[in-house]
A and B are shown apart, each in its own frame.
Chain A
Amino acid sequence: MTVRRLTFLITTTFIVCGVALAAVEEAEELTHKIPPGYVPEEARDEQGLWLELEEAERSLNKSALLIRNTDINAYINAIVCRVAGAYCNDFRVYVIRNPHFNASMTATGMMQIWTGLIVRAGSTDEIAAVVGHEIAHYTRLHSLQRLRDIKKKMAAGAFFDVALIALSGVSAPVGQMTAMMSALAFNREQESEADVLGVMMVVDASYNPHASYTVWENIIAEEEAAVAKREEPGMFAKTHPAAEERARYLKALVTARYGPPDQDAVHDQKLLSVLNSNYAMLMEDQLDTNRFGRTLDLLERHGEMGVNPSLVRFFYGEMFRQRGEDGDRELAKSAYRHSIEGADAPPEAYKNLGYLLLKDGDIDAAKDNFRMYLELHPDASDRAMIEFYLEE
């Protein structure tokens, strides 16, 4: 290790410890700025912001990407309400079908949770930690502060509209949104406040505070596993401090205040139930991103968490088959066979194993699997294609 690197590490450690300790001290006094049921009555800019955001919410309500599935919504709403406590009725939660990791909250209490957050969560506590952070932004009026800062800095009135779009989070495609969110990100102090207050809310709601940094450790691990590294950071990273920095200071803060984590790993049945019921949708969306390193990281984590092994193995098969590197065909066939050994293999495990056997020239075995697929899935929309191979 070079002297320069050692100096850097020592300095970094001091800074991290300093930030964490300062945060612990601040935590004693940090409180919500608004009461439950808050509605702006005096400030005109705040009223204007609310009107725009309410319009944005009406638009979001019509979004084709809104998840209307009751079990996911019930699960997420229960977490939000438990963390929010007395503020529960102030929030409307929208779960959005998007394979990336993100959550956001507007000044009016419109909360968005993307399905990419659910599929990446190691536990319900981790989702609660992200929710606590977002609620803290709301109760500390960070959006309003941000808007006022922007207005001070920017003379052009048009920027106000851009700011409103970004704050609402619904009226622009992700590409444009990312750029705007980056420009309008909460400042470091606001992020620290949301982290600290978020942890306090999570603890008050009897969730595990250590989840506040493990959620970031998972994101770091996924980033390291990624084959195609993002040249541009993702949406959440653009608007929040770097994952590494956040994981470090939150770990220091939580450990100092609440002691070390409980080492006994317990399966999170509520999260597992939601993942098992919606696994096909969640993982197909992830596969469509064509980011195999990330998908592999998720599958490994899901296997450890106890997600239905037949489903996890099936998606290992899908991932290896679609990746198509040397040796992947054998790995895919093995994964499909393992999936089929379980009780809950999707019929597609037979079909896709059949296609791979077809490539191998093992026609009889391929046809056996195709027949099994049609037997299990008589209404398959690709019946004509499968029958074509069966008749060949």
Chain B
Amino acid sequence: MKSIKNLLLVSTAICFAGCVTGYTLVATGVNSIDTLQVSAGPGWNLAPNYAGTGRRKNSQTWTQDGMLLDRLVFVPAVADGEALLVVADESAALPVFRKDMLPNEIEELAESTFVKIYGEGNAIFSTSNLRPQTFGDHRGIMFDVEAQVTESPDYRGMVGAFVVDEKLYFMYYLAAHPHYYVKHRDEAEAIIKSATLAVVAEQA
């Protein structure tokens, strides 16, 4: 009898788990992601922790129409020697952030990281329009991204990044081109450009 009861409980839990997507609505206004702060407009959804390849614990992924179509990713406080992803397999040869990286090298770090996210050989990424960008009081950079992915639409997007206290704050927007990229580009760009650090972190 007890085993039947347990079976029923487990079955019910599985049924409910299937109904729960795990996505939650992002609040309009200022949002904190670790020590990073950004201002969001309406319509963004926070992806659950299990979504995304090699997600760092303190990072967040937002989407409007689903992660395959558009994603806005925030990766805060990447320390010297760390990768933008967390993958246990050492043979993955992940590129790592180095505290003395200059804009061209952060651009390369992004390109190589994207290749790892989508799978070596499955995607070709290129970057362009590297330019200076200020995030709050911090000097940083932005650049554009284009990707061709196997059995998938082309992707386009942009990256914003800055380094404070030898830590990298990295944000990117990537969406299926042309429709979804164009649809959310301006909003995503405004969110990335709104990024700054919480005052407490700046004083630390």
Which A positions have Cβ atoms within 8 angstroms of B?
A: 59, 63-65, 97-100, 114, 116, 170-175, 227-232, 235, 285, 287-291, 321-322, 324, 351-352, 355, 358-359, 381-382, 384-385, 388
Of the candidates A99, A171, A172, A359, the one whose C-beta lies within 8 Å of that of B120 is: A99
Of the candidates A287, A322, A382, the one whose C-beta lies within 8 Å of that of B129 is: A382
**B86–chain A nearest beta-carbon distance, Å:** 16
| Inter-subunit contact B102/A174 (CB<8 Å) | no
Given contacts A173-B122, A173-B150, A352-B104, contact A291 B93 (CB under 8 A): yes
Please, how many angstroms separate the alpha-carbon atoms of A291 and B108 in the complex?
14
| Inter-subunit contact B93/A174 (CB<8 Å) | no
Given contacts A322-B105, A382-B130, contact A97 B124 (CB under 8 A): yes
Hey, which chain A residues are within 8 Å of B121, CB to CB? 98-100, 114, 116, 174, 235
| Inter-subunit contact A174/B90 (CB<8 Å) | no
| Inter-subunit contact B119/A359 (CB<8 Å) | no
Segment at the A interface, from B17-25, B33-41, B109-117: B109-117
Q: Is B131 an interface residue (CB 8 A)?
A: yes
Of the candidates B90, B93, B129, B151, the one whose C-beta lies within 8 Å of that of A381 is: B129
A-B contact pairs, 10 of them (CB 8 A): A100-B121, A116-B121, A174-B119, A228-B90, A228-B91, A231-B90, A289-B112, A289-B115, A290-B95, A382-B104
**B14–chain A nearest beta-carbon distance, Å:** 24
Which B positions have Cβ atoms within 8 angstroms of A?
A: 89-95, 98, 100, 102-105, 108, 111-112, 115-116, 119-122, 124-125, 128-132, 141, 143, 148-151, 154
Given contacts A171-B151, A228-B91, A288-B112, contact A385 B103 (CB under 8 A): yes
Given contacts A355-B104, A359-B100, A359-B102, contact A384 B119 (CB under 8 A): no
Closest residue on chain A to residue B103 by CB atoms: A385
Given contacts A173-B150, A228-B92, A290-B94, contact A385 B122 (CB under 8 A): no
Hey, which chain B residues are within 8 Å of A174, CB to CB? 119-122, 150
Hey, which chain A residues are within 8 Å of B103, CB to CB? 355, 382, 385
Closest residue on chain B to residue A234 by CB atoms: B121
Closest residue on chain B to residue A59 by CB atoms: B151
| Inter-subunit contact A285/B124 (CB<8 Å) | yes
Closest residue on chain B to residue A318 by CB atoms: B108
| Inter-subunit contact B131/A382 (CB<8 Å) | yes
| Inter-subunit contact A384/B120 (CB<8 Å) | no
Please, how many angstroms separate the alpha-carbon atoms of A235 and B119 in the complex?
13
Of the candidates B90, B104, B112, B131, the one whose C-beta lies within 8 Å of that of A384 is: B131
Hey, which chain B residues are within 8 Å of A355, CB to CB? 102-105
Please, how many angstroms separate the alpha-carbon atoms of A172 and B151 in the complex?
7
**B111–chain A nearest beta-carbon distance, Å:** 6
Hey, which chain B residues are within 8 Å of A97, CB to CB? 124, 148
| Inter-subunit contact A324/B98 (CB<8 Å) | yes
Hey, which chain B residues are within 8 Å of A229, CB to CB? 91
Please, how many angstroms separate the alpha-carbon atoms of A288 and B118 in the complex?
12
| Inter-subunit contact B112/A290 (CB<8 Å) | yes
Please, how many angstroms separate the alpha-carbon atoms of A290 and B119 in the complex?
12
| Inter-subunit contact B102/A322 (CB<8 Å) | no
Please, how many angstroms separate the alpha-carbon atoms of A232 and B90 in the complex?
11
| Inter-subunit contact B150/A288 (CB<8 Å) | no
Hey, which chain A residues are within 8 Å of B89, CB to CB? 231
| Inter-subunit contact A64/B95 (CB<8 Å) | no
Hey, which chain A residues are within 8 Å of B120, CB to CB? 99-100, 174, 289
Please, how many angstroms separate the alpha-carbon atoms of A289 and B112 in the complex?
6
| Inter-subunit contact A381/B115 (CB<8 Å) | no
Please, how many angstroms separate the alpha-carbon atoms of A62 and B124 in the complex?
15
**B99–chain A nearest beta-carbon distance, Å:** 11
Closest residue on chain B to residue A232 by CB atoms: B91
